[in-house]
Amino acid sequence: MKIKTLIVDDEPLARDRVKRFLRDEGDIKIIGECGNGTEAIGAINEHKPELVFLDIQMPAKNGFEVVKALDPKSMPSIIFVTAYDQYALQAFDVHALDYLLKPFNRERLHRAVAHAREHIEHKSLGNIDDRLASLIADIRGEKKYLERLVVKSVGRVFFLKTDEIDWIEAAGNYVKLHTGRESHMIRETMNGIESKLNPEKFLRIHRSTVVHIDRIKELHPMFSGDYAVILRNGTELALSRNYRERFLELFENEA
């Protein structure tokens, strides 16, 4: 069974690159290509592709605006393609299946197609499309929290699941994400990162500290009414008085 695929990019050379790499994918059928967002919306509604390679920066309407204009009940699998890594997080916020950063190679596109193939097969089996459900929730105005963060480290860009974070500390204009034995810096404020994280999973315990609730092992009383929060990996963090009441309420509810 062929996967109907549409390529959308305002640069002809970029479209040609995708088409050339897709020649190795025997089950991909390219049904058309578009040079701007408005054309893309019309083509998707008319031809109902199962997979769309979608550029983000385009005239008329950008890639994000294209996704928002589509019917969520017939949403194709979207692989965003762009030269700008700062769009990565926003791409996943609108539930893209994958994200190709130009210039990508044949192997990277092959992995994206494999991911799309699996996703499309699951949809055909009648499984619940979690990404589509999330998109519908967004349209209805329900609050969504980050499930992953974009991290730049030593010349590479990768995605870090928020559930992998043990705790977060302020570091000037950055925050440091602690994950096991590693730590990663991203440009963000504590207030900013806290507002984007699920409050059922993450708790502010100090003006400069947010902790993953599941990583908390013990709470130790200290002198003068202060407390120390002990994580499962042995890390000891201070519980500020300003955040103590909310923290203790959480523990009382869990007891």
CATH number of the domain to which 168 belongs? 2.40.50.1020
Q: What is the pLDDT of residue 253?
A: 54
Asked whether residue 155 falls in the same domain as residue 132, the answer is no
pLDDT at 139: 43
Last residue of a domain, one of 139, 170, 202: 139
| Same domain for 134 and 29 | yes
pLDDT given at position 127: 42
Q: Where are the beta strands (DSSP E) in the chain?
A: 3-8, 28-34, 51-55, 77-82, 98-101, 148-153, 156-161, 167-171, 174-179, 182-187, 202-206, 209-212, 216-221, 227-231, 236-239
Query: Which domain-ending residue is among 108, 139, 170?
Result: 139
pLDDT score of 249: 75
Structurally, the chain folds into a number of domains equal to 2
Same-domain check for residues 94 and 157: no
Kindly report the CATH number assigned to the domain that includes residue 44. 3.40.50.2300
Domain that holds residue 17: 3-139
Q: How high is the mean pLDDT in each 10-residue block of the chain (255 residues)?
A: 93 93 92 94 94 88 87 84 65 64 86 86 52 49 74 80 95 93 90 88 94 93 82 93 80 57
Q: Looking at residue 48, what is its pLDDT?
A: 93
pLDDT at res. 95: 55
Residues 132 and 27 occupy one common structural domain: yes
pTM over 0.75: no
